[in-house]
Structure 1
Amino acid sequence: MWSSNAIVLALLLLVGHVLGQSCPGYSSFSQMRNPPLSTGAYKLAYQRPSPECRTFNSSLVEDALSGLKDEIYDVDLYRLFENTYPNTLDTAVKWRGVAANNSEEELAFIITGDIDAMWIRDSANQIAPYKMVLKNSTDKLASVFRGVINLQARYLIISPYCNSFQPPPESGISPAQNGGIYSVTPPYDRNIVFTCNFELDDFGGFLQLSHDYYTATGDADFFGKFQWIEAVQSVLAASEAMRAATYGPDGKWIKPAYTFQSQTMSASGTLANNGVGMPVNYTGMARSPFRPSDDSALFDFSIPANMMLSRYLDATAAIMDQLPNAPKGLAGQMRDMATEIRDGISHWGVVKAPSGKQVFAYEVDGFGGQNLMDDANIPSLLSAPFLGYLDKNDTVYRNTRDFILGRSNPWWCEGPYINAVGSPHVRPDAAWPMAAIMRAMTSDDDMEIITAIKEILRSTDGLGLIHESVNSFDTSDWTRQWFTWANGLFGQMIMDLADRKPHLLKESFQPFFIEKD
C-alpha cells in the first residue's frame, strides 16, 4: 500500500513535469517513502529522482544496475543497491563546467547534501565507487572524475588547510552562508572556503581519487596538463609543516602552522589551548587536528589518516614519475614522506591493548599518549585493508579488528537491530551503517558479511537509503537521510561482492517472523 504522503508527492511530481516546473528538492524527496515500494518484507521506497531530475546520467552506472538485477536474489537488497549506488550522480553533481581561464580544464562541483559546499574528503569518496565501472578516459563519466580532481587541486593550492569549499565563480552559484565565528591560521577567503577544519584525510582523499582515475583509465597525461602537480606540492608542503614538533631542540615552543579557535557549544568544535591544540612530539607522521568526522582530535597524530596519506603518496608517485613537466625529485619526495610516515606508524602507532595484544591506536601524540578506539568515519582503523595500507590478514590488524568490533572499543554500538562502530560525532548508542559496510568489505567470512548486510537492510526505516547513524535499539531514530558518501559505499560493497563472492548475492536477506499461537 502506498502511504497518503507518497501518493501526494507522486501527484505533485506528475503535475510538476506537466507544467515544466523545477524538480523537487532531494532533501525533502528523500524523506518520503516514494513508490513503487519493493515487494520484500522491508517494502523499501524507490528513491531515485526521475531521469530528467538527476544531476548526471551515466550509461555505465545504469548498465551496472541492470546487469546485477538478475544476479541479486533478494528484492529488498536489489532495491537498496539501485537506490544507493547512483545516489551521488543522481543528486549531488551540482555543477559541471570549465575553468574561466582554460576551456579544456574540466571542473565538477559535488555537494554532500543540502549545503551548496564541497568537502574534499567527501567528494573524493562520493565519486570513488564509480571507478568500478570506469574503463577509459573518453567516457562521459571520466569527465566527472577529472572535474572533481581539477577543482580539488584548485582548492588545495589556495587553502590547503581547509576542508570544504564554496562553489567556483564559474558556476554562477552564490556562496553558501556559514555564520560561525572562527580565528584560523593561516587566514582564508570566505568567498572561496566554507569551513577550515584541517583534516589530514583530505590530502589522502585527493590522492586516492587521482590514483583511482589513473588505475581505471591509464590516463597519465591528464595529470600534467593543469594544476595537479602544484596541488601535490601544496599537499607535501602542508604535510611537512604539520610534522613539526611542539618544541624545538632548544625547548622553545614553536607555534604550529595551523591554529583554529571558534565560538561553539561543542567541545569538539574547536581546538584546545586557545586554538593551538595539544602538544606533540616528532614522530615522522603529520598532525590532523580534526578527524574525518570534522570533530577535533584528542591526540593529533591520527593513525588511520596517516595510513591513508602514506599509502597514496606512494601510489601516486608512480603518476608523477611519468610527467615530463614534474619538478625533478618530486616523486622521490612523495615516496620518502610515505616511508617516513609508515615508519612513524610502526614505531608510535602500534601499542599494547588491555588484552596484552599489539594493536593500532586510533590517535597518539608522540609522548606516550594514546587513544584506543575507532570511529566509523573513513579512514578508520577498520578500513586499513580497504585503503590498501596493509593486508587484512596482518597480525596487528587482526588484533585491532577484534578490539574494534566489541565492547573494548568505547564507540562500539550493540543492539537488537544493528551492531557497528559509531562515532563521538553523534552519541554512544548510534551505530553507523558505514562501519557495517566496511566490516563486510574487509572480511572474507561469509557469515560475517551476511550478518552485516542483514543489519544494514533493517536500518533504513523503510526509506531505502543509508543513514549516517541509526539507534541500535530503534531504527526509526536516525540521522541524515541523504548521505551520498555512505550510499555510494554500499553500492561499492555490492559491486565488490559481485566480483569476489557472487554466491552471497544469491542469498535471501528477508527477516524471519515467528507467528504467535
Structure 2
Amino acid sequence: MKRRSFVQKAGLLTAAMVSGKMLSFAAEPEFPLVRKPIELRRFTSRAVEGAITEFTEKVKNKELAWLFNNCFPNALDNLVTYSETTDGRPDTYLSAGDIDAMWLRDSSVHMWSFLPFLRRDKGLRNLVGGVISRQVKYIIKDPYASSFYNDPAKIGAMKDDLTMMLPGVHERKWEIDSLCYPIRLAYRYWQQTKDTSFFDAKWQDAMKAILKTFKEQQRKENTGPYHFQRTTLWATDSLPMEGFGYPVKPVGLICSAFRPSEDATVFSFLIPSNFFAVVSLRQAAELFRIIKADEQVAKDMEAMALEIRLALQKYAIVEHEVYGKVYAYEVNGMGSYNLMDDANVPSLLALPYLGALSMTDPVYLNTRKMLLSEGNPFYYKGKLAEGIGSPRITKHMIWPMSIIARGLTSTDDEEIRNCLKMLQTCHGDTGLLHESFDPDNPKQFTGSAYSRANSLFAEFLWKTYQERPYLLA
C-alpha cells in the first residue's frame, strides 16, 4: 500500500474508531491526512465523529467526503478551550486560529454546524453553552468590541487605536453583526435543546446592552459614544470625521462603523446587518418572554425591529437601470447609496440564510442577479470558479464564503451542484478552504486555512447531504 493511501485510510479509521464503528475500504482516490492525531485534538465529540463516519460511508464523491472530514471538526480540533467555572458552569474560549482572540461572530459561526447534534452529545451541548456564557461576559465588558482575549487583563497589539480600549479587548471595531450572532446562536441553542439555564440575569443584562447599543447607533439625537481611528496605511481600517464616519440622516436604521469583513463602511447604514438586526431583536424578544424576563424590554426590542424593518423598506431599495428594484449594500438616508456586495456574512446574498428574507422575495431575486454579475464590482469570474470577493484584498480573488452563501440560498439543483464543484476545486490541494483564491489557479490563495469558511462549508455539505444527497455523487 502506498504511504499516501495508508495515511488517508488511517485518518478515516480514526474517525470510525471514535464513533464506535468500523469502515470497509474500496478503491478510492488518494487524499492526505489533514486532521491532527486524536491525542492532539482540543475537543472530541462522539456525535461529530459519528456524523463524519456516516457522511464518509454514504457520500459517493470521496473528495467531498474528505473535505467534510477535514472541515467539520476543524474548530473542535484546533480552536476551542473548554473549562468549567468554580461552580461547575461551562466556559468555552474559541480562538480565531490565526489570531489568539475570540470574535463574537466567528465563535457563533463555528458552533452553528454542531447545533443539530446537541441532543446526542451532552459534552458538545456544554461546549456550546460555554460559548454562550463567554460571549455574555464579552458583551457586558464592551458591546462595541468585536474580539477579545482569553486573558481579561491582556493589553494587545491594538492598544494604540484611538477609541476606548479596555484590557482584554483585542479589537474595537463596531460591527452590528457582532451583537446579532450571539443572539442567533442562543436562540437556535434553545430551539434544539429547550434549555434556558444559560439565559440568566447576566445573559439578560447582555441583551439589554445590545438594545442600548443599537439605540445609540441609530444616532437620533447625537453621534453616540463610539468613535474609532487607527494609524494605518489602509484607509478601510479607520473612520473619517474624527472617528465617527460620514454623516447620516437619522431614519431609524442602525449605523455600523465596520462591515463583517472589518473594513470601514462608506455609508454607515449597512443594509445586510440592519436586516440581521431585525431578525435578532425579534429572537431576543421571544427568548425574554420564554424565560419570563422583563416584558418591557421584549416590547422595546420588537418595536425597534419594526422601526428598522419599515426604514429598510423605505431607504434600502433603489432602482437599477438593468435589474429593477434592488437592495443597496449601504445607504446614508440622504439619497446616497452603494451598490455592491461583500463575501462576508451577513451579506445581501446571504439574507435568506439568516432568515431575514424569503428566497422568493422579488427584490432579493433582482438583487441576487445583480450581485452575481458584473453589476457587482467585487464579482469575479475565472476558468474554474466565479463568485464574490472583498475590497479587503486584491482584485480577482474570490472568497469561498460567497460560493457557500450562494449554495445555501439556492433551491436549484444545478446551481447547488455547481457551487459544490467550485468549492471542491478551490482548496488548492490542501483539504481546507482559505480566505480567498484565484479562480484561474486555486493554488494561489490568501491566508492559511480560514476557519469560518470551513465551518460554513461543513454546514453546507451536511445540509446538502440531508436534503439533496444525490448532488454529492
Matched, 1:452 2:409: no
Which of 223, 227, 247 is matched with 2:202 structurally?
Answer: 227
Whole-angstrom CA distance in 1 between matches of 2:45 and 2:58: 21
Number of the residue aligned with 1:178: 157
Number of the residue aligned with 1:471: 438
> Displacement of 1:214 after TM fit?
0.7
Number of the residue aligned with 1:30: none
Instruction: Map 1:210-221 to 2 at 5 A.
Output: 210-221=186-197
Whole-angstrom CA distance in 2 between matches of 1:409 and 1:347: 22
The answer to whether the Cα contact below 8 Å between 2:83 and 2:90 also exists between their aligned partners in 1 is yes
Whole-angstrom CA distance in 1 between matches of 2:385 and 2:155: 35
The answer to whether the Cα contact below 8 Å between 2:159 and 2:165 also exists between their aligned partners in 1 is no
What are the Cα deviations for residues 83-124 of structure 1, in whole angstroms up to 9, with x where unaligned?
00111111100x22234xx62432111011132110111111
Matched, 1:285 2:253: yes
Number of the residue aligned with 1:513: none
Number of the residue aligned with 1:399: 366
Whole-angstrom CA distance in 2 between matches of 1:51 and 1:98: 22
The answer to whether the Cα contact below 8 Å between 1:283 and 1:344 also exists between their aligned partners in 2 is yes
Number of the residue aligned with 2:346: 379
Whole-angstrom CA distance in 2 between matches of 1:408 and 1:134: 42
**Taking every aligned residue pair, what percent have the same amino acid on both sides?**
32
Whole-angstrom CA distance in 2 between matches of 1:463 and 1:82: 13
> Displacement of 1:2 after TM fit?
6.3
- Which range moved further: 103-112 or 144-153? 103-112
What are the Cα deviations for residues 311-367 of structure 1, in whole angstroms up to 9, with x where unaligned?
12112322110224x223111111111111111111111111231511111111111
Q: Which amino acid aligns with 1:315?
A: Q
Which of 189, 192, 208 is matched with 2:184 structurally?
Answer: 208
TM-score, normalised by the number of residues in structure 1: 0.84
The answer to whether the Cα contact below 8 Å between 1:412 and 1:419 also exists between their aligned partners in 2 is yes
Higher helix share: 2
Whole-angstrom CA distance in 2 between matches of 1:179 and 1:219: 37
Matched, 1:149 2:126: no
Matched, 1:111 2:86: no
Task: Point out where structure 2 has 5 or more consecutive residues left out of the alignment.
Answer: 11-26
Instruction: Map 1:7-156 to 2 at 5 A.
Output: 39-40=28-29, 43-93=30-80, 95-99=81-85, 103-135=87-119, 139-156=122-139
Whole-angstrom CA distance in 1 between matches of 2:193 and 2:54: 22
Matched, 1:163 2:146: yes
Whole-angstrom CA distance in 1 between matches of 2:324 and 2:291: 45
Number of the residue aligned with 2:169: 193
Whole-angstrom CA distance in 1 between matches of 2:146 and 2:304: 22
Number of the residue aligned with 1:318: 286
Q: For 1:183, what is the secondary structure of its paired residue?
A: coil
Whole-angstrom CA distance in 1 between matches of 2:384 and 2:219: 45
Which structure has more relative contact order (CA 8 Å, sep 6+)? It is 1
Q: For 2:370, what is the secondary structure of its paired residue?
A: helix
> Displacement of 1:265 after TM fit?
0.7
What RMSD over aligned residues (CA atoms) do the two structures have, in Å? Answer: 2.1
Number of the residue aligned with 2:383: 416
Whole-angstrom CA distance in 1 between matches of 2:28 and 2:389: 31
Whole-angstrom CA distance in 2 between matches of 1:113 and 1:221: 29
> Displacement of 1:180 after TM fit?
5.6
Q: Which amino acid aligns with 1:458?
A: T
Number of the residue aligned with 1:242: 217
Number of the residue aligned with 1:267: 235
Number of the residue aligned with 2:23: none
Q: Which amino acid aligns with 1:81?
A: F
TM-score, normalised by the number of residues in structure 2: 0.92
Count of residues in Structure 1 that have an aligned counterpart in Structure 2: 454
What are the Cα deviations for residues 456-515 of structure 1, in whole angstroms up to 9, with x where unaligned?
11111100001110012221210122211110111101111122212212x2xxxxxxxx
Q: Which amino acid aligns with 2:32?
A: A
Q: For 2:210, what is the secondary structure of its paired residue?
A: helix
> Displacement of 1:168 after TM fit?
4.1
Whole-angstrom CA distance in 2 between matches of 1:255 and 1:358: 31
Number of the residue aligned with 1:515: none
Whole-angstrom CA distance in 1 between matches of 2:254 and 2:32: 44
Whole-angstrom CA distance in 1 between matches of 2:263 and 2:436: 16
> Displacement of 1:188 after TM fit?
2.9
Q: Which amino acid aligns with 1:448?
A: E
Matched, 1:484 2:447: no
Matched, 1:366 2:352: no
**Closer, same or farther: CA 419–356 of 1 in aligned 2, 3 Å:** closer
Superposed structure 1 runs of 4+ greater than 6 Å apart: none
Whole-angstrom CA distance in 1 between matches of 2:28 and 2:448: 22
Number of the residue aligned with 1:344: 311
The answer to whether the Cα contact below 8 Å between 2:156 and 2:169 also exists between their aligned partners in 1 is no
